[in-house]
């Protein structure tokens, strides 16, 4: 029993350290071995209109009357030839003035759809899109003026199927640490992009070739599904850091937990049902990225539980296992104290514990209530 506990402890603890810390270092080392060490830099971000593709910018919306006019105005102000840009607002069963305000603001096309969820709205908008490139943005995202040019520039390479930009989360008053996490995440994705392609995107700013668009189930996720499914078609998914967008962040760590919990409800349908687990079709380096960055990250709740339980069985096997057990309990204690005593280390522990727990909570919700797909806007992000 002790031997088995030791194997389980070291395996689970080692995988946790690897996926959070070791993997970025391995990426760095692999890139150092390549002749081309610099990440992909998009071309064609100048001011000439010639040669730029036609783009349909798709904006899904559910009761977004507060922000939709500003979003359309932001899209119209982009440094992109107006005659080559179509702006589509897909109002998914909105009960307010979202559609009317989108039209008044100058959207090219406003779809008033029956309630179906965000992905269903995007599927409907994609069917109506005329552009060679489909770009996507949340209704509360604000794009930099040159963001669209920089986002579509990598598509000059016919081997590129998907591009995501850089999102910056604004948190003027809250205690959420999502912004710090995303700076780490974007650094990892920049390395992945330079190696074999990113393994996930973000909803604030991304684009896909029109002929590579994949209609997903209502519970699906463009952010998670498009990169790996396009990799199986031999199309790369890249990160364009120069394509910048900003969004308001959920103010609290607890609110971030609730947001991530909702996002994770459909996770395992994507992992198991859409083929993320299957290595068939993946280039070898991309398969390595998927396992390291996606699958191990999603297994983090289980790995933590195994490490803690195995460590408990090893408490009579020397001082080192006492130390590791105390450190694990200290992480939990710090997370619990983080709400009442919001100092830096406690806040970090609370953020990490809750975001990791959100994966397990989302799975629990999936098992109880089904795959979901409903609209639930995060409080404080508008």
pLDDT at 379 over 90: no
pLDDT value at position 375?
56
Cα separation, 302 vs 289, in Å, equals 20
Mean pLDDT, the chain, whole residue set: 90
pLDDT digits (tens, 9 = 90+) for 264-283: 888 888 888 888 888 889 99
Cα separation, 19 vs 308, in Å, equals 18
For residues 93-109, average pLDDT: 95
pLDDT digits (tens, 9 = 90+) for 236-257: 999 999 999 999 878 788 888 9
- Minimum mean pLDDT range among 22-31, 73-82, 360-369: 360-369
In terms of C-beta density within 10 A (0-12 exposed, 13-18 middle, 19 or more buried), how is residue 367 classed? exposed
pLDDT value at position 174?
60
pLDDT digits (tens, 9 = 90+) for 350-375: 999 999 999 999 999 988 888 765 65
* Per-residue DSSP letter, 270: I
For residues 129-151, average pLDDT: 97
Question: Strand, helix or coil at 145?
Answer: coil
For residues 341-349, average pLDDT: 88
pLDDT digits (tens, 9 = 90+) for 167-195: 988 875 666 677 778 889 999 999 999 99
pLDDT at 378 over 70: no
pLDDT value at position 263?
86
pLDDT confidence of 342, banded at 50, 70, 90?
A: confident
Cα separation, 253 vs 176, in Å, equals 5
Cα separation, 9 vs 146, in Å, equals 49
Q: Give φ, ψ of 251 to 5 degrees.
A: -65, -35
CB 225 within 8 A of CB 197: no
CATH architecture for residues 55-251? Alpha-Beta Complex (3.90)
CB 167 within 8 A of CB 204: yes
- Minimum mean pLDDT range among 6-15, 42-51, 208-217: 42-51
Residue ranges of domains in the chain: 55-251
For residues 233-238, average pLDDT: 96
pLDDT at 50 over 70: no
Alpha helices, H only, the chain: 2-17, 23-33, 68-76, 98-105, 118-128, 147-152, 178-195, 222-231, 253-263, 267-268, 284-289, 296-298, 300-313, 319-337, 344-369
pLDDT digits (tens, 9 = 90+) for 291-310: 999 999 999 999 999 999 99
- Token digits for 344? 């830096």
Length of the chain: 382
CB 227 within 8 A of CB 199: yes
């Amino acid at each position: 029993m002790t031997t088995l506990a030791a194997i389980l402890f070291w395996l689970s603890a080692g995988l946790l350290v690897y996926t959070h810390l070791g993997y970025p270092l391995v990426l760095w080392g692999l890139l150092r071995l390549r002749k081309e060490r610099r990440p992909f830099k998009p071309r064609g971000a100048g001011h000439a209109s010639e040669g730029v593709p036609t783009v349909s910018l798709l904006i899904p919306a559910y009761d977004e009357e507060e922000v939709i006019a500003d979003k359309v105005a932001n899209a119209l102000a982009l440094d992109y030839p107006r005659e080559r840009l179509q702006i589509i607002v897909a109002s998914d069963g909105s009960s307010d003035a979202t559609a009317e305000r989108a039209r008044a603001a100058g959207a090219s096309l406003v779809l008033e759809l029956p309630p179906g969820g965000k992905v269903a709205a995007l599927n409907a908008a994609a069917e109506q899109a005329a552009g060679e490139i489909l770009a996507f943005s949340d209704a509360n995202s604000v794009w930099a003026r040159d963001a669209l040019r920089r986002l579509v520039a990598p598509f000059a390479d016919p081997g590129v199927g998907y591009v995501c930009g850089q999102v910056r989360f604004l948190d003027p008053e809250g205690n959420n640490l999502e912004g710090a996490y995303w700076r780490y995440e974007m650094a990892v994705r920049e390395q992945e992009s330079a190696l074999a392609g990113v393994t996930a995107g973000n909803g604030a700013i991304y684009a896909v070739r029109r002929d590579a668009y994949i209609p997903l189930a209502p519970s699906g996720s463009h952010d998670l599904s498009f990169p790996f499914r396009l990799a199986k078609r031999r199309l790369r998914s890249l990160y364009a850091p120069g394509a910048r967008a900003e969004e308001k962040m959920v103010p609290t760590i607890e609110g971030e937990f609730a947001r991530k919990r909702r996002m994770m409800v459909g996770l395992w349908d994507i992992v198991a049902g859409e083929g993320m687990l299957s290595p068939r079709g993946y280039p070898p380096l991309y398969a390595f990225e998927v396992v390291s960055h996606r699958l191990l990250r999603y297994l983090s709740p289980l790995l933590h539980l195994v490490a803690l339980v195995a460590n408990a069985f090893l408490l009579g096997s020397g001082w080192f296992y006492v130390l590791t057990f105390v450190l694990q309990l200290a992480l939990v204690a710090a997370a619990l104290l983080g709400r009442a005593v919001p100092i830096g280390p406690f806040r970090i522990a609370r953020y990490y514990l809750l975001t990791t727990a959100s994966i397990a909570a989302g799975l629990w919700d999936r098992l109880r209530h089904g795959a979901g797909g409903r609209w639930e806007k995060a409080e404080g992000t508008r």
